Structure 1
Amino acid sequence: MSLSPTTTGPWFLADHPALDFINTVAQAGGAPHDVWQSDEDVRRWLAQAGLATGTAAKGPAGELLHEARQLRSSIRALVAQKKAGGALDVTPLNRALAAAGGVNQLVAGEDGALRITRAYPGQAPAQQLGPVAELAASLLADAHFERVRECEHPECTLWFYDKTKAHRRRWCSMALCGNRAKVARFRQQQK
């Protein structure tokens, strides 16, 4: 998606949280625009995505931002490599998974029903980003990876997971890139 002065991020339009995570960088005026400029921006994104671990990250200012940007870069590279059919170096993602230190726990709900939840006991940025790393690993191992696509708009760099019935989704958002393509096609036909 090419950003205009009236559009802001982050967007949750990829139909997969790991892809929404990498979509926090988009094109604006032909240059990348990063919606994360601080640790707080990353924390807010994790909360909006429903991926906050419930514990506040501890560490030097800017560490969560740095770690999130590194993880985002690793996931973006892996998604692009897998789509291109290239060999994958999963070392950076495996490092993030190991650092996350998540554990399964059995929890009783208010109704007494038992369920398994994933807990991240630490407060380091790696633990805060653990849910994202796990979702990215799951996405890369998914048997339906062919449904992961990059928006077809030439100025857009956003990815999405095609959950449509016919699996013919072409745009990150029909309201944004799809509509622009239709308008451009209409104008071209009018000439």
Structure 2
Amino acid sequence: MTDLAGIKKEPIVIADHLALDMLNTVAIVDKQQADFWQTDEDVVYWLKTVAGIKLRSYQSFKQGEILETARELREVIRKLVVKKKADSLNSIKPIEPFLDASLSWISLQKNAEGQWHQHRCYKQDTVKQVFGPITEAAAALLAEVDFNLVRVCEHDECILWFLDRTKTHKRRWCSMALCGNRHKVAKHRKQKAQ
């Protein structure tokens, strides 16, 4: 894997699904696979900015525990998604410890307009509990989503996943601005050369 020292580590949020955005924390950078999670702080930043999870305190966990658990869950989800995509998912056993750890409840809160709305709260006593919302999103992805719409970007040098929520369901690229544009430029150059 590529060392990301000096590379801006802003999360890639293009998947239209939280569990797939987690998979996209591994991407191709300079033609090599790179992991955007190198420290607990990288994971905590991703949890806050992408998943909307505010940790009450992560200093109570052992150093490296959040990173290790995040990477473990990410690989569990990746393997399950790949198997589901290949129509060979026969067991969800690898994610069960994360599902078992996820403890949540509903609370009611007033919004700015004074109307009541539901808010799901999660325990954060263990590191696995911290990842409860992502684990539940992964379970929903596996159980409820049409996997014909779960795709990997078609660009040769991209491994990013996405859920195609377009009206026509013909999305091919992780992002038109990134890989879609690269494809158009390459196609134009090829036509020009001919």
TM-score norm. by structure 2 comes to: 0.88
Between the aligned partners of 1:7 and 1:37, the Cα distance in structure 2 is 13
- 1:121 positional shift: 2.2
User: Given that residues 19 and 138 in structure 2 are in contact (C-alpha distance below 8 angstroms), is that contact kept between their aligned partners in structure 1?
Assistant: yes
Out of 159, 162, 169, which is 2:161 matched to? 159
Give the structure, 1 or 2, with the largest relative contact order (CA under 8 Å, sep 6 or more). Answer: 1
Between the aligned partners of 2:23 and 2:16, the Cα distance in structure 1 is 12
Between the aligned partners of 1:164 and 1:54, the Cα distance in structure 2 is 33
- 1:8 positional shift: 4.4
The 1:38/1:129 distance shift into structure 2, 3 A limit, reads same
2:69 is matched with which residue? 67
1:131 is matched with which residue? 133
Structure 2: give runs of 5+ residues left out of the alignment. Answer: 1-5
- Report whether the alignment pairs 1:99 with 2:90: no
TM-score norm. by structure 1 comes to: 0.89
Q: Which amino acid aligns with 1:185?
A: K
Cα deviation 1:63-101 (Å, max 9, x = unaligned): 000000000001111111111111343112121111122
Between the aligned partners of 2:92 and 2:50, the Cα distance in structure 1 is 24
User: Given that residues 17 and 132 in structure 1 are in contact (C-alpha distance below 8 angstroms), is that contact kept between their aligned partners in structure 2?
Assistant: yes
1:24 is matched with which residue? 25
Greater CA drift, 84-93 or 49-58: 49-58
Out of 183, 186, 191, which is 1:184 matched to? 186
SS of structure 2 residue aligned to 1:33: strand
Q: Which amino acid aligns with 2:99?
A: L
2:109 is matched with which residue? 108
User: Given that residues 80 and 89 in structure 2 are in contact (C-alpha distance below 8 angstroms), is that contact kept between their aligned partners in structure 1?
Assistant: no
Structure 1: give runs of 5+ residues left out of the alignment. Answer: none
1:144 is matched with which residue? 146
CA-atom RMSD, angstroms?
2.1
SS of structure 2 residue aligned to 1:146: helix
1:37 is matched with which residue? 38
Between the aligned partners of 1:87 and 1:161, the Cα distance in structure 2 is 18
User: What percentage of residue pairs aligned between the two structures are identical?
Assistant: 44
User: Given that residues 26 and 35 in structure 2 are in contact (C-alpha distance below 8 angstroms), is that contact kept between their aligned partners in structure 1?
Assistant: yes
Q: Which amino acid aligns with 1:48?
A: T
1:15 is matched with which residue? 16
Q: Which amino acid aligns with 2:81?
A: V
User: Given that residues 51 and 134 in structure 2 are in contact (C-alpha distance below 8 angstroms), is that contact kept between their aligned partners in structure 1?
Assistant: no
Number of aligned residue pairs: give it.
187
Between the aligned partners of 1:55 and 1:97, the Cα distance in structure 2 is 21
Between the aligned partners of 1:79 and 1:72, the Cα distance in structure 2 is 10
- 1:113 positional shift: 4.1
SS of structure 2 residue aligned to 1:65: helix
